[in-house]
Chains A and B, each alone.
Chain A
Amino acid sequence: AQRVTQPEKLLSVFKGAPVELKCNYSYSGSPELFWYVQYSRQRLQLLLRHISRESIKGFTADLNKGETSFHLKKPFAQEEDSAMYYCALLSGNTPLVFGKGTRLSVIA
């Protein structure tokens, strides 16, 4: 069965420092990977998806099939990046499976 692992529950970085939120998955086929974000008092929303290969709010994520990873990166963290981040996997005809999430705290 597909599984998403986010090893860090909490990640604290200083403003301007690089950020990397880790995500590993287990799935034998070709999955679709996503990062969802939940800012304080807001609903869960899509941040980016691997097939788009785009940068959103300065964040990028590359799918590494060899390492089964989809880490989220940003070169310079901003205070407004503080939020809960969830990695999610979609495979075949199965619905989204989420990791447990990582809380990013950017310290001024």
Chain B
Amino acid sequence: EAGVAQSPRYKIIEKRQSVAFWCNPISGHATLYWYQQILGQGPKLLIQFQNNGVVDDSQLPKDRFSAERLKGVDSTLKIQPAKLEDSAVYLCASSRTWGNTEAFFGQGTRLTVV
């Protein structure tokens, strides 16, 4: 099966600019996650969708981050405005359903804020 697709792979922006990331999960996967991975740390969950509904966004900085999952398939994550500390790899993952099922990860988008 095709894997989780993310774009772009790399992005460099200046602070206070906006940026958007796109994720296409594996077909048929109901659950979609966005993780933030800062250099030297493990992935930290930003938001979890079940179909097109938000399950958990408790760690999403909602003053600047937003995410949506249109029609329960593709998802976009936006940062507006970006800060230097947002420099990280943004990982998208999907799984068949919620709970004890394997999560499949995309290659990630490496964001550098200068």
- Could you tell me which A residues sit within 8 Å of B by CB distance? 4, 6, 9, 32, 43-46, 49, 51, 86, 90, 93-101
Note all chain B residues with C-beta closer than 8 A to A49.
100, 102
B-side interface mostly: loop
- How many B residues face the partner with a CB closer than 8 A? 25
Note all chain A residues with C-beta closer than 8 A to B33.
95-96
Of B33, B35, B93, B105, chain A has the most CB atoms within 10 Å of the CB of B105
18 contacts between A and B (CB under 8 A): A6-B42, A9-B40, A43-B3, A43-B4, A43-B106, A43-B108, A45-B104, A46-B102, A46-B103, A86-B42, A90-B100, A94-B56, A95-B48, A96-B33, A96-B45, A96-B103, A98-B42, A100-B41
Report B72-91 residues with CB < 8 Å from chain A CB: 91
Query: Which 5 A-B pairs rank lowest in CB-CB distance, beginning with the nearest?
Result: A98-B42, A44-B105, A100-B42, A95-B48, A98-B43
| Bound CA span A35–B98, Å | 18
Q: Which residue of B lies closest to A42 (CB)?
A: B107
Q: A86-B42, A100-B42 are in contact. Are A43 and B99 (CB under 8 A)?
A: no
Note all chain B residues with C-beta closer than 8 A to A32.
100
Q: Is B16 an interface residue (CB 8 A)?
A: no
Distance between B77 CB and nearest chain A CB, rounded to angstroms: 15
Note all chain B residues with C-beta closer than 8 A to A95.
33, 45, 48, 55-56
Q: A86-B42, A97-B45, A101-B42 are in contact. Are A45 and B100 (CB under 8 A)?
A: no
B43 in contact with A44 (CB, 8 Å): yes
